[in-house]
Structure 1
Amino acid sequence: MPCSQALKGLETLPGIMHSTCIASGYPGFVAVNRRELDAHVPLSWPLFDADGTPLLAAGERLPSEADLDWLFTMFAPHRPLPEGASTGEAAGRTEAANSASPLDTATSSASTVYLHGLPVPLPIGAWLQVRVAPDAETTRVRARLIGRAPNGMLIITPPSAGETRLPLSAGDRLALWTFPGDNLYEFTCEVHSVHHGPFDYVVLSRPSQVRETPVRRTPRVDTRLVARLSPLDETSRASFTRMLADPEDTPEWLVLVRDISADGAGIVAKTALPEGCAHVALQFRVPIGADVVPILGMAAVRGAEGPRADGTWTYGLEFMQMDTRNKAAIRCFVYESRLTDPRATH
Structure 2
Amino acid sequence: MTAQSASEVSPTLVRLAATDIPLNAPLGAPLLGPDGALLFEADVVIPDETTRDFLFRHFEPHRASGAPATAESTTDASREAPLTLDDMGLAIGGRVGLRGSGWSASSMYASRVIGFSAVRRNGERSLFVTQPVMTGVAPLELTRGETVELVALTGRGVFRFACTVDATSREPFSYVVLSAPGAIRRLRTRKFTRMPTRLAALYSIESQPSASPQLGRVSDISPYGMALTVPAPSAQAGDRLRLSFRFSTDGIDVEIDTSALVRHVGAAESGDAGIAYGLEFEALEPSQRIALKSFMAEHHC
Q: Do both share a fold (TM > 0.5)?
A: no
Structure with more of its chain in helix, by fraction: 1
The structure with higher relative contact order (CA 8 Å, sep 6+) is 2
Classify the TM-score, shorter chain.
Answer: 0.3 to 0.5
Structure with more of its chain in strand, by fraction: 2
